[in-house]
Amino acid sequence: MNTLEKINLLNFDRKAMQAFFAELGEKSFRADQVMKWIHYYGVTDFAQMTNLSKALRQQLQEKTLLAVPEIAMEQLSKDGTCKWLLRLNDGNCIETVFIPEDGRGTLCVSSQVGCALNCTFCSTAQQGFNRNLTTAEIIGQVWMAVRRLSQQNNEHDRHVTNVVMMGMGEPLLNFDNVVSAMNIMMDDFAYSLSKYRVTLSTSGVVPAMEQLAKLSEVALAVSLHAPNDTLRNELVPLNKKYPLKELLAVCKTYYGNDKKRKVTMEYVMLEGINDSKEHADQLINILHGVPAKVNLIPFNPFPNTKYKRSKQINIDKFRERLMRAGLITITRKTRGDDIDAACGQLAGQVKDLTKRSARAKLAAMEVAVEARTDLNS
């Protein structure tokens, strides 16, 4: 059997792993053991899985493989933020970012190569869509980060305590693989993250949000960015399909009877576009009765964009207005400045390593991955 025909066990969450072991005629606790070897201990060599029989190890060796993404580049910021460029089997590249903060470490994970949506302020959109990531490629980002961080000698904390699905792509358009990967993140035999510490961010794919509420308990973030349909249609064109009224209706009931949880509303601050007093008041209005907290994200400019980042004073005023109305509002801190400055260089250095299309997607992603953190508080 050649490598291509072998099954990558990183594609399986616990249920799928148990089903696979049942097919092999093995007891389900074998699946649990293998889960633990792969994700908890980080072992990718069957020979080291010493609590499995030799025969089973042999069988796994023949039928399956444990493939993780390859690190093409690693950049470490002075403040401890770390970015990885990961190369996938087909030559496509994705990026994963780790952001250490007081007492926590947030990993920003990608769900697709490129993006099919056309948000005007997001440069990933300009690159178009290439493909969905597999479960193995999504959880592989976590696998890789946990291992690499433990090897880094750094004064900043190196533990992944939170994951945000805020890298490249729209996670809800890769629903099954993303849900499986998040199951593994929360699995006690794997990464043991609590449901409060895994966040999925969506541009508002309403039917998939309804599905997600039924299937997963992870925290939800919504890329709101505008307080009325006219403006949101322009910034997040998906709004034409699922307008604010429908989007906010799902948010209202998203956590069911759990009154303590709130949906994070991401709001990119664009100068002269969505950052006025009136916009703040409209936002307060539409969020009335919605269990929400607001995350203001200063816009990260990219080449040929028509937008500018709002002035700090306007971001502060906007935030104060929302706070006075009783909305918990956080402004994203700028992190990893020194490696952000090197973003253009990263694309340049990648030139010889990746195909042109992958390079363009990467450059686009530089922007999208900046916009997370301050979540899972």
Active site (catalytic) residues? 95, 343
CB atoms within 10 A of CB 307: 19
Tell whether residue 366 is a contact of ligand SAH (CB under 6 A). Answer: no
Task: Decide whether 232 or 359 has the Cβ nearer to ligand SAH.
Answer: 232
Residue at 202: amino acid letter: T
> Closest separation between CB of residue 358 and ligand SAH, Å?
19
Tell whether residue 206 is a contact of ligand SAH (CB under 6 A). Answer: no
Task: Decide whether 118 or 349 has the Cβ nearer to ligand SAH.
Answer: 118
Q: 275 near 227, Cβ under 8 Å?
A: no
Tell whether residue 368 is a contact of ligand SAH (CB under 6 A). Answer: yes
Candidates 64, 199, 201, 329: give the one binding ligand SAH (CB under 6 A): 201
**Closest residue to ligand SAH, based on beta-carbon distance:** 371
CA separation for the pair 185, 107 (Å, rounded): 11
What track of x and - describes contact with ligand SAH for positions 273 through 312 (by CB under 6 A)?
------------------------x-xx------------
Task: Decide whether 51 or 334 has the Cβ nearer to ligand SAH.
Answer: 334
State the Cα torsion 368-111-189-87 to the nearest 10°. Answer: -90
Helix residue ranges, H only, the chain = 14-23, 28-35, 54-63, 123-127, 135-151, 175-186, 206-215, 229-235, 244-253, 277-286, 312-324, 337-340, 343-350, 356-368
- How would DSSP label each residue in 114-134? E-SS--TT-HHHHH-EEEEPP
Candidates 18, 33, 96, 203: give the one binding ligand SAH (CB under 6 A): 203
Tell whether residue 109 is a contact of ligand SAH (CB under 6 A). Answer: no
Task: Decide whether 49 or 286 has the Cβ nearer to ligand SAH.
Answer: 286
Chain centroid to Cα 57, Å, comes to 33
CA separation for the pair 123, 347 (Å, rounded): 14
Q: Candidates 1-9, 71-79, 198-206, 339-347 — which segment interacts with ligand SAH by CB under 6 A?
A: 198-206
Task: Decide whether 64 or 300 has the Cβ nearer to ligand SAH.
Answer: 300
> Closest separation between CB of residue 311 and ligand SAH, Å?
15
> Closest separation between CB of residue 170 and ligand SAH, Å?
4
What track of x and - describes contact with ligand SAH for positions 5 through 44 (by CB under 6 A)?
----------------------------------------
Candidates 8, 96, 202, 376: give the one binding ligand SAH (CB under 6 A): 202
CA separation for the pair 102, 8 (Å, rounded): 36
Tell whether residue 121 is a contact of ligand SAH (CB under 6 A). Answer: yes
Tell whether residue 358 is a contact of ligand SAH (CB under 6 A). Answer: no
CA separation for the pair 220, 206 (Å, rounded): 12
Torsion angles phi and psi, residue 175, rounded to 5: -55, -60
Task: Decide whether 291 or 301 has the Cβ nearer to ligand SAH.
Answer: 301
Candidates 13, 95, 187, 266: give the one binding ligand SAH (CB under 6 A): 266
Candidates 66, 67, 149, 166: give the one binding ligand SAH (CB under 6 A): 166
CA separation for the pair 160, 139 (Å, rounded): 13
Residue 305 sits at the vertex; the CA angle it makes with 172 and 302, to the nearest 5 degrees, is: 75
In angstroms, how far is the first alpha carbon of the chain from the final one?
Answer: 47
Q: 211 near 175, Cβ under 8 Å?
A: yes
Contact set with ligand SAH (CB under 6 A): 119, 121-122, 166, 170, 201-203, 223, 266, 268, 297, 299-300, 367-368, 371-372
